[in-house]
Amino acid sequence: MLSIISQENAHLHWDALASMHQLRRQVFSERLGWGVSVINGLELDQFDTPDAHYLVHRDAEGRVDACTRLLPTTGPYLLGDVFANLIDGEPPRDARIWESTRFCADHGRAPRSIAALLMAGMLEFGVDRGLSAYVSVSDVRMEPIMRRAGWDPQRMGGTVETGTDTAAAERLTVSREYLFRIRKRAAVDGNVLKNLHELGREAAVA
């Protein structure tokens, strides 16, 4: 199941949020060796703010096996506040442009199509909110994955070696066309996000 969790409906999903932060610890601290902050077994950083929206996929037992964090660029966000040097020009500060970070999955438990499913969820949310684009700081190895899924990563500047990967700033267009294309690649029919109504919104795309 793919769900969107925000401050508005977090009280319905405390277990999923804890499971998500545990997954992030397993992926970013233990598997990738990033120097991230781990508190009581949970990976957290300064961008886990009240504005954050979390897209999570749960397995049959309810454990989160994939996730990404979505943040508006009108407030603090990773690309704009930490990696602005990756952008040619000024970082976006636009209510219609959001950032995706902490995109990850447990490949032993998540579906094989999980990357495309998460992207479809991002696009459903983006279309519903009237977004024009997402931005992201990504390992450049994500670019072919996004293209195979049917999306259009566009570099916003140069690259930097982080010690564990090569990072670049990416821009991804939000549109119904890309949504339908990625749904097709993911072999899903209809909405993948099942709980937009919990945010006071009905699904905008069928």
Burial per residue of 189-201, b for 16 or more beta-carbon CB atoms within 10 angstroms, e otherwise:
eebbbebbebbee
Of the candidates 67, 82, 75, the one whose C-alpha atom is nearest the C-alpha of residue 117 is 67
| pLDDT per residue as tens digits for the range 125-158 | 999 999 999 999 999 999 999 999 999 999 999 9
- Taking the domains of the chain in order of start, what are their residue ranges? 2-193
User: What is the C-alpha end-to-end distance of the chain, expressed in Å?
Assistant: 17
Q: Which residue has the tokens 């930097």?
A: 160
pLDDT of residue 196: 92
What top-level class would CATH report for the domain 2-193?
Answer: alpha beta
Q: What is the mean pLDDT of residues 175-197?
A: 94
Q: What is the percentage of the chain residues whose pLDDT exceeds 70? A: 97
pLDDT of the residue at 34:
87
- Per-residue model confidence as pLDDT tens digits over 64-99: 999 999 999 999 999 999 999 999 999 999 999 999
State the virtual CA torsion across 26, 170, 72, 82 in degrees, nearest 10: 70
> What would the two tokens of residue 9 be?
């409906």
What is the model's pLDDT at position 101?
97
State the virtual CA torsion across 114, 185, 118, 82 in degrees, nearest 10: 110
Would you say residue 120 has pLDDT above 90? yes
Q: State how far the Cα of 163 lies from the Cα of 32, in Å rounded to an integer.
A: 10
* Total-model pTM: 0.94
The pLDDT of residue 202 is 52
Strands 133-139 and 97-105: what pairing? parallel
Whether residue 206 is predicted with pLDDT greater than 80 in this model: the reply is: no
Site of tokens 């995109």:
103
Phi then psi for residue 39, to 5 deg, are -125, 120
Distance from C-alpha of 44 to C-alpha of 206, rounded to nearest angstrom: 34
Banded model confidence at residue 204, pLDDT cuts 50, 70, 90: low
Tell which residue, 47, 182, 198, 52, has the closest CA to residue 118.
182
pLDDT at 201 over 70: no
Q: Are 50 and 72 in contact (CB under 8 A)?
A: no
- pLDDT at residue number 177: 97
